[in-house]
Structure formats: structure tokens, C-alpha cells
Chains A and B, each alone.
Chain A
């Protein structure tokens, strides 16, 4: 079990607003970083679809994410 937990919402609005890019971003992370994270996709995280795409990293919800923001969140909050 890795120490960190990343969930990306792939519900319709989130997918439409770029969840696929976020999945790509995770899949192209450095191996070391990647192996420290448990990655899951899910349907609807927080019912905050108007601020899609939504992710949760280590049980904290973030909205309106793009690949750069995702990378920053992972970098800053990784344990």
C-alpha cells in the first residue's frame, strides 16, 4: 500500500472538462513519484460538478484542476 492516495473523478462533467488529461499527467509522472501514490478513478467525488474536473489527493478535495495544478498539488502534498 502506497502512502498517498489520488482519486480522479471521471463522471461526465469532469471527463468533459479534461479528466483524461489528468489521467495522462499521472501516467507520465516519474516512476518514483508514481510508485508512492495509489491511483484510482471514481464516479463523482464531491458533487461539485460545476467546478469540474474534481480530484482528491490524500482525502482533500480540489476542483477546477488542470495538469499543471495537479502536478503542483502532488509535489507539494506528497508524504
Chain B
């Protein structure tokens, strides 16, 4: 059984601020994942610039496997100096995990990580040393299958100051909340992150006193999604394709009204259409037994492509009920995406003066595949 490393984060800006002073960078390589969290001094745009610079430089240099000292000196030499406080500063925490599950975590001035193992949250065994006048904590360990690791910015350990508590939650308090939330729903990491953010925000009385970020990560089983879009060129392939896709493992999605009709006809099933739409610019979805999602074709695919272009690794996909959001969520939650694309052209689309960017199916799917590859997903496309 193949496992994949999965990570999600959420950042909440200080109450009243437009942008968050914490920044997360996630880089996925073939054999390793790099995660960087940086918290800039103060809040707002200034903090955002400090943390973005720090995390971008750090992630870039780590990816090139430069020694830690070099990375630190580069960051220190680059950061602009704050006018009020006279210092340039952002915290930094980064971790690298390879395909053998070996994890290396380095923290500079950020709260200690939380490791959830065997029903308890524990602190890691750190080694401490100084480099470039900075105190550095380093931990190396083997990530187990059932482990979960959480990195937070200090806005989380201080949750409650100015809100419900006098001195904030502290490390122990956060550990308690993490333990409780993970036990509620061990199968879903996104749930845990969303719930924790809600809890910390509540401690702040919904008015966060500082930017805060929480990143969660774990291993999970590999997921596959199969997508059939478009009727095949040769009509005799209709039956073959419908039966082939119905028999595949993993999630199954059909994109295209005509395609759905072919599937229903060939499999002898009833296609149920819905009577309402959730979003005006996305046509309603339909239902077909055995398939996880049946959407309209071109408009939905275009919407999916637009959302994917904006997506940053680690973000939690939007939970909405329209076809495009559901489709995007399925793609982002899967690791292996298999497209089965029919190339028959809908004559009626040719006679309409469709906007140019609506394009034809094969082009849009190629672009979606490109975006998915950017996110390090395995993509295959079969043409029919």
C-alpha cells in the first residue's frame, strides 16, 4: 500500500489586518517535501513582507541543499530593518521529510512543534546550538504512519491574550486542544486544522490579537480519481469506455452532459438531474449510480482550471456544493489523476460564437493536467 505525505495549513491575520504576517511555503519534490513557516515581526504588510522574504529564501535554498549557515546569513543580510524597532526579524521553522520517512526539523525562535503519537501529544527531542548568533533547535526522527505533526506560529501559543485568558494557552494548552481535536476525527486532517483554528479564534474572542498559523501533516493512503470527459470519436468505444470506467478503482467523475447520457445509456442507469444550482456561473450537477460526481462539461472545467491556477500547495480546498468546487476538491485531494478524454466535437458548440478562452475540451484538460503536475500529482491522459 503506497503512502503519501499530506499537509494542510490555515493562516489567520490579526483582527483588522488585511494580510497575514505569517507565511507558509511548501515545496514538493520527487523524493522529499519541504515545509517552511515564518512569522514576521509585528503584523500587517510589513510583517507579511518579512515573513514572505524569509520563507521564500529559506525554501529556495533548502531545495538546493545549501548548508544551514549559508541560509541564515543570506536571510539576515536580506531582511529590511524595521524603522521603529531598529531590527530586522522573522522567526523561521522548516522541515524536510524524505521518501524514507526521515524528518529533519529546525526551529529558530518559533514555538516547539507538536507531535501526536499513540494518542498523546509529545515534545520532540531537540538538539540545541548557536549559529550566526541565533539559538537553533534541531530534531531528527522517523515519522511513523500514524503520527501527526503540527507546526504553529506564536499567535497560537499566545491564543487567549486579550480574549478569554490572561496569559494565553501556552504550549501545554495547545497540546491539549490538538489531542482532543485529533481524537474526534482521526481520519481527516483538514477537519482538525479547521476546528483548531476555530478554537484558537474563540480564545481570542474572534478578534485575533496576533497573526496565527497552524500547519498539520501526516501520511495517508494514496488516492486515485478517474475522470471521463467527452464522448469518444468512434461510437463503438462508448460501451467499452463506460464499462471500463465503471469498473475502475478510486473516485469516478464524469464531466459533460452528453458524456453522462452515454454512460447512463450504456450502463442501463438512470441519470438524475438536479433542479437547482448553487452558483450562477456553474451549471447544476447530476447524479448517476456508481459515480461520485457528474458535472457539466466546458463551463465547469474552465472554472476548475481557474481555481487550480490560484491554488497554493497546502491550502484547504473550498467546501462548496457547486460542481466546479466539488470537482476541484476531488482533484486536490487525490494523488493520482487519470483522465479519459473523448475527442468527439459537439457540433452545436461550433455554431455558437463561444468566447475564445472557453476553448476546446482537449486544451482545457491539458492545462488542468499541467496545473496538477505543478502540484506534484501523477497525471495520465488517455485519448479516445
Contacts and interface: CB of A to CB of B under 8 A. Distances in A.
Interface of A: 10-13, 15-16, 19-20, 23, 27, 39-44, 47-50, 52
Contacts, number: 64
B211 interface: no
B352 interface: yes
B277 interface: yes
Interface stretch (B5-13, B16-24, B257-265, B328-336): B257-265
B107 interface: no
List the 5 closest A-B pairs by CB distance, nearest first: A49-B348, A43-B257, A41-B273, A15-B283, A50-B351
A10 B352 contact: no
Interface stretch (B138-146, B295-303, B311-319, B367-375): B295-303
A11 B351 CA distance: 15
Contacts of B271: 43
B275 interface: yes
Contacts of B64: none
B299 A43 contact: no
A10 B284 contact: yes
A10 B351 CA distance: 18
A12 B280 contact: no
Interface string B121-135: 000000000000000
Contacts of B258: 11, 43-44
A13 B348 CA distance: 8
A52 B260 CA distance: 20
Given A12-B346, A16-B299, A49-B349, 6 more contacts: A10-B257, A10-B283, A12-B349, A15-B296, A16-B354, A50-B351
Nearest to A50: B351
Chain B residues touching A, majority SS: loop
Interface in B81-127: none
A27 B276 contact: yes
Nearest to B286: A43
Contacts of A40: 273, 275
A39 B273 contact: no
Nearest to A17: B352
B166 interface: no
Contacts of A41: 273-275, 284
